[in-house]
Structure 1
Amino acid sequence: MRRILITGGAGFVGSHLSKRLVSEGHDVLCVDNYYTGNKENIAPLMGRKNFEILRHDVTFPLYVEVDEIYNLACPASPIYYQHDPVQTTKTSVHGAINMLGLAKRLNARILQASTSEVYGDPKVHPQVESYWGHVNPIGVRSCYDEGKRCAETLFFDYKRQHGLNVKIARLFNTYGPNMHPDDGRVVSNFIVQALQGKPITIYGDGSQTRSFCYIDDMIEAFIRLMNTPEDFSGPVNLGNPGEFSILELAEIVVSLTNSSSEICFKKLPHDDPVQRQPDISLAKEKLSWTPKVNLEDGLIKTIRYFELLIKN
């Protein structure tokens, strides 16, 4: 049994990680300021003796006693991270500094939830960890992209300078229950629009591609990465290498929901990546991990969640 801190623990990914680790018998401290996190996501855990929640903003120092830290705190949806871009950068950078400082004091291992957005609009396809990326440092998405890139820099500098046991996961598109219905991400957008019979909104011509990983697969990868030997820090791509166009995703969602929604097209947002597909060779080698849930099965589970959410 370990004492584990999860920042952003009431968010989409954090809540699933909290549930998994609590179910395994670990003492879990969930920290969240509820900017995008939701208490409903962790409500089933509230009565558990090995689960504790603390309202806190990671841009301020935190003094607790733990063995491991999963640093997930940061809005991941463009709608939310562009609403207050200065705070988004501070969350990634100051948050990383504060959590690394805590890990250093405690000699705790620490995992950073980074992102495929560190590759920007990539010129290499599929993306491999050795690729440095093609990122606009002054665009509307830069607060998130560059904030995460700087966090990775800090993690490796703490490793080199202080010998800290760090892990960096680069998450590609992840979906599943507990996603916010209004977060602006493509899977939740399409499902909610389809269930409500509204037009399915595609930005651009729909030819841009993404790779979609179901949340249970992602959580398994997180835990395996955290438990790798100290000499492996990553960064490691985590995602499903199956590549789908946005138009294909829309058509699948319409079919699975039996929706009458029509597909409409709008202007592509600035700096929106044209291609996203992870090369997961490193994850296969170091974590013995590959995603198990295919897109259609994962979407069916996610649709059921949103059907209940919308009814209530």
Structure 2
Amino acid sequence: MKKRILVTGGAGFLGSHLCKRLLSEGHDIICADNFFTGAKENIASLLNNPYFELLRHDVTFPLYVEVDEIYNLACPASPVHYQFDPVQTTKTSVVGAVNMLGLAKRTKAKILQASTSEVYGDPEVHPQPESYRGAVNPIGIRACYDEGKRCAETLFFDYYRQHNVNIKVMRIFNTYGPNMNPNDGRVVSNFIVQALKDVDITMFGDGKQTRSFCYVDDLIDGMIKLMNSRDGFTGPVNIGNPVEFSMLELAELIIKLTGSQSKLVFQPLPQDDPLQRQPIIELAKKELDWEPRIKLEEGLIKTIEYFKGIIHA
């Protein structure tokens, strides 16, 4: 059945992949983006599709459209971008959630919130289950994003309880792939860009801190499966790859795959930067029949090819 679907942040890294997938499944897509971190290049190939509509819109203002489903992805997600204007970051998460939940309430649309593993902060429990409540510094430099996303989850569950809005909440762990912004300061894009340019690779801390990396196609599979999951299953549900890698292991693999001459340089760890981040995904396996399938090396090869295209273009 063809559905009318709104994707906020639809020109961003994840949003552009989601728009492409939903269009390929035969749906009618409205992509809303204010282009703070999104890019028209990410969706240029979709603009001639009669079932794709692009709106330049900021979710901190109400949006009046008629839709069946809403994927709320609007928010800068990398520290470089969300710390650039922290007040606006918090407003995007909180006021944006209010506006999109209000739209869902009016249209009786199902709504999915792209939340984040950042709600766990610098975790004292490892790996992280959905029941863990987190260890977040509410006045730190990352709080605009961490606490903004935590408040958005609060709003989603209050609209669910108070107004019976049909909600889905996913907590996204580190994701990578084509359409990443080369200047977003994230570890995968940083390392790949530096390796391709044969410049020193910046390693924060001692490089022993760990992350779990999910390829974007796997992540989008999980997102759509959550949206289509049984009524009454709200989440929150972790979507990410449970295989853990240290930053040193990641850098060495990228140097090998790019044939780079880059050397590692070590710098102090930024404030409140988590030392570990790894999802427990048993709930996603049970409720969504989902788990990631693309191994890190395979995903990195595809991502490196994308970055070669934009760096040498």
1:37 aligned residue: 38
Shift of residue 230, structure 1, vs aligned partner: 1.5
Matched, 1:290 2:298: no
SS at match of 1:54: strand
Mapped partners of 1:139, 1:201: distance in 2: 23
- Aligned to 2:199, what secondary structure does the other structure show? coil
1:40-119 alignment, distance < 5 Å: 40-119=41-120
SS of the residue corresponding to residue 250 of structure 1 reads helix
Letter in 1 for 2:88: Q
Distance 1:214 1:305 in 2: 13
Match of 1:196 in 2: 197
1:135 corresponding residue in structure 2: 136
Residue identity in the other structure for 1:13 = L
Displacement, 1:172? 0.2
Matched, 1:244 2:242: no
> How far did 1:229 drift?
1.3
Q: SS of the counterpart of 2:6?
A: strand
Q: Deviations over 1:163-217 (max 9, x none)?
A: 1100000000000000000100000000000000010101000000000000000
Deviation per residue, 1:241-280 (Å, 9 max, x gap): 0000011100000000000000110010000001000000
**Matched residues in 1 for 2:181 and 2:165: separation?**
34
| Alpha-carbon distance between aligned partners in 1 of 2:309 and 2:84, rounded to the nearest angstrom | 28
- Name the aligned partner's letter for residue 112 of structure 2: L
CA distance in 2, matches of 1:185, 1:274: 15
Matched, 1:230 2:225: no
What's the CA shift for 1:37? 0.2
Is 2:183 the partner of 1:182? yes
Q: Which amino acid in structure 2 is aligned with residue 228 of structure 1?
A: S
Unaligned runs of 5+ in 2: none
Task: Report matched runs for 1:237-276 at 5 Å.
Answer: 237-276=238-277
Equivalent AA in structure 2 for residue 295 of structure 1: L
- Percent identity, aligned pairs only, is 71
Cα distance in 2, alignment partners of residues 308 and 161 from structure 1: 49
Structure 1, unpaired ranges of 5+ = none
1:100 partner SS: helix
C-alpha distance in 2 between matches for 1:119 and 1:282 = 17
Secondary structure at the aligned position of 1:180 is classed as coil
CA distance in 2, matches of 1:82, 1:101: 27
Instruction: Measure, in 1, the Cα distance between the counterparts of 2:176 and 2:254.
Output: 13
How far apart in 2 are the matches of 1:62 and 1:8? 13
Distance 2:156 2:110 in 1: 11
In structure 1, C-alpha distance between the alignment counterparts of 2:164 and 2:229, rounded to whole Å: 16
CA distance in 2, matches of 1:86, 1:24: 37
- In 2, Cα distance between equivalents of 1:52 and 1:292: 31
Alignment correspondent of 1:168: 169
One-letter amino acid of the structure 2 residue matched with residue 178 of structure 1:
N
**TM-score normalised by length of structure 1:** 1.00
User: Per the alignment, in what secondary structure is the counterpart of residue 30 of structure 2?
Assistant: strand
Counterpart of 1:159, as a letter, is: Y
1:278-305 Cα shifts (integer Å, max 9, x gaps):
0000000000001010000000000000
Residue equivalent to 1:217: 218
Q: Distance in 2 between matches of 1:18 and 1:185?
A: 23
1:85-111 deviations in Å (ceiling 9; x for gaps): 000000000000000000000000000
